[in-house]
Amino acid sequence: MGFLRTGISAAAIGIALLVATAPADAETLTYKIALSPSNEVPPVPTRATGSADVTYDTATRLVTWNITHSGLSAAPTAAHFHGPAKPLENAPVIVVFMGSLASPFKGSATLTPEQAAQFLAGNWYINLHTPAYPGGELRGQVPKAK
């Protein structure tokens, strides 16, 4: 009978330790990213401005965004995360922002482990595209996680 109690206690302690350490490993990172025409490659001559509030959950690999923009030459035709790329490099689309792109717009996506590594390394950027600037009118680099 004493052995059974010891076994239950050890199991309970093991579960308690596992639960206690799990939240310490998880972290929600927040980013405030300026979107600018001067960040485009090459830069574009527009007075448009924008910003992106981005969060990333390290445990679930969920990235969320809330993007605002104003002064675009026309309504955005597309918006994405691109990567992998350093600042002033161009890269393919990685995550498409779905739904209305009218300001403000929100969304989320769960990243693959490879995408998460690129994102955390600061190798992704946000790009808003318009008819006048199909390569992008506003762009902002996701900074490297600290």
Answer for the pair 35, 51: CB distance below 8 angstroms, yes or no: yes
Tell me how far apart the terminal alpha carbons of the chain are, to the nearest angstrom: 51
As a whole number of angstroms, the distance between CA 34 and CA 11 comes to 49
| pLDDT value of position 25 | 66
| pLDDT value of position 124 | 98
Tell me: pLDDT of 55 over 70.
yes
The Cβ-side half-sphere exposure at 91, using a 13 Å CA radius, reads 21
pTM here?
A: 0.82
* Residues present in the chain in total: 146
| The two structure tokens encoding residue 50 | 């924008």
Tell me: pLDDT of 45 over 50.
yes
| pLDDT value of position 26 | 79
Q: 88: how many CB neighbours lie within 10 A of its CB? A: 13
As a whole number of angstroms, the distance between CA 100 and CA 9 comes to 54
| pLDDT value of position 146 | 80
Element at 51 (helix H, strand E): strand 49-57
59-108 pLDDT tens trace: 999 999 999 999 999 999 999 999 999 999 999 999 999 999 999 999 99
Answer for the pair 33, 140: CB distance below 8 angstroms, yes or no: yes
